[in-house]
Amino acid sequence: MIDTEVTALLALGSIALFVIGLKRLSKVRTARSGNALMAAGMLLAVLITLLEIGLVDYRWIAGGLLVGGGIGYAIVARAQATQMPEIVARFNGFGGAASALVALSLFWAEVVEVTGDGTAVTALGLAAAVTLVLSVLIGSVTLSGSVLAELKLRGTISGTPRIPVRGALMGLFVLGGLVLGGLAVSAFDDPLVASLLVVGLVLASVTTGVVLVLPIGGADMPVVISLLNSLSGLAAAATGFALGNQLLIIAGTIVGAAGLILTQIMCVAMNRSLLNVLIGGYGGDGGATEHGEYEGVVSADAESAAMVLEAAQSVIIVPGYGLAAARAQNAVHDVARALRQRGCEVRFAIHPVAGRMPGHMNVVLSEAEVPYELLFEMSEINQDFSQTDVAIVVGANDVVNPAANSEPGSPIAGMPILDAALARRVFVIKRSLSPGYAGIKNALFEQDNTVMLYGDAKQVLDELAGELTANT
- Set 334, 398, 419, 462: catalytic member: 398
- For residue 411, give the DSSP letter: T
The alpha carbons of the chain give a radius of gyration, in whole angstroms, of 26
Chain centroid, CA 61 distance in Å: 30
Q: 314 - beta bridge partners?
A: 345
First CA to last CA distance, the chain? 69
Say if CB 320 and CB 394 are below 8 A apart: yes
d(CA 237, CA 249): 4
Say if CB 89 and CB 227 are below 8 A apart: no
d(CA 329, CA 89): 23
Say if CB 471 and CB 306 are below 8 A apart: yes
DSSP 33-92: HHHHHHHHHHHHHHHHHHHHH-S--HHHHHHHHHHHHHHHHHHHHH--GGGHHHHHHHHH
* Whether residue 398 lies in the annotated active site: yes
Distances (CA, A) of 306 to 312, 331, 346, 458: 10, 14, 15, 15
Say if CB 212 and CB 170 are below 8 A apart: yes
Q: 346 - beta bridge partners?
A: 315
Among residues 264, 265, 228, 232, the alpha carbon closest in space to that of 251 is found at 232
Q: If phi over 0 gives left and psi between -120 and 50 gives alpha, with beta otherwise, what is residue 147?
A: alpha
d(CA 93, CA 228): 8
Q: If phi over 0 gives left and psi between -120 and 50 gives alpha, with beta otherwise, what is residue 414?
A: left
Q: Which helix (H) or strand (E) holds 426?
A: strand 425-430
Among residues 37, 28, 389, 356, the alpha carbon closest in space to that of 217 is found at 356
Among residues 371, 459, 360, 377, the alpha carbon closest in space to that of 418 is found at 377
Q: Which helix (H) or strand (E) holds 152?
A: helix 126-154
Catalytic residues: 398
